[in-house]
Amino acid sequence: VVQWAWDFGDGGTDTVQDPLHTFAAAGAYTVSLIATTLHCSGSGTQNVLVEAPPVAAFSPDVVLGCTPLDVNFTNTSTGAVSYSWDFGDGSTSSQTTPSHSFVNNGTADSTFTVTLVASTLFGCSDTTVMSITVAPRAVAQFSHNATPGCAPLDVDFTNLSTGAG
């Protein structure tokens, strides 16, 4: 064989023996090759299926709240058949539309990065992330210096609350 004429079915052509071709758009393409020697030629065709990439997307019903924060996720991804969720706290899920309870045992706000990977049957994937902020539990406590006495009685109060404000 001394000549090759490739037609990739998307407007692209090539004349090298072993081409590398990039299909920019999803679709079904019929690829043809004409191989020519000095006196003869032959041709062949094969189909190539190019899948559209998925788009990962989701929305939580709440993004900020107090611990424990129960969040329901609505998966709005397109073109995917499987999902992998990472809630940023060591928990994962493969459900399409999961719910998750975020817990903050600290004394300051905690932000959890939720990651969704949406995948197609052929392994194409897309990833998106969103943050959920969880405030610690507010505990109301106080002390005072009151001793029994007659009215009017002045009492000093000290706020010992945690997790508030």
In this prediction, residues 4-29 reach a mean pLDDT of 97
Residue 84 pLDDT: 99
- DSSP tag of 97: S
Q: What's the whole-model pTM score?
A: 0.75
| pLDDT tens, residue by residue, 54-101 | 999 999 999 999 999 999 999 999 999 999 999 999 999 999 999 999
* C-alpha dihedral (87, 92, 98, 103), degrees to nearest 10: -50
Q: What is the mean pLDDT of the chain?
A: 95
Residue 88: both structure tokens together: 């940023």
- DSSP tag of 162: B
The residues of the chain that CATH labels 2.60.40.10 are 3-50, 58-135
Residue 143 pLDDT: 93
Residue 165 pLDDT: 53
Q: What CATH architecture is 3-50?
A: Sandwich (2.60)
Residue 90: both structure tokens together: 């060591």
Topology of 58-135 in CATH?
A: Immunoglobulin-like (2.60.40)
Amino acid identity, residue 84?
S
Query: In Å, what is the CA distance from 41 to each residue of 8, 32, 35, 78?
Result: 18, 13, 6, 45
- Does position 163 have pLDDT exceeding 80, yes or no? no
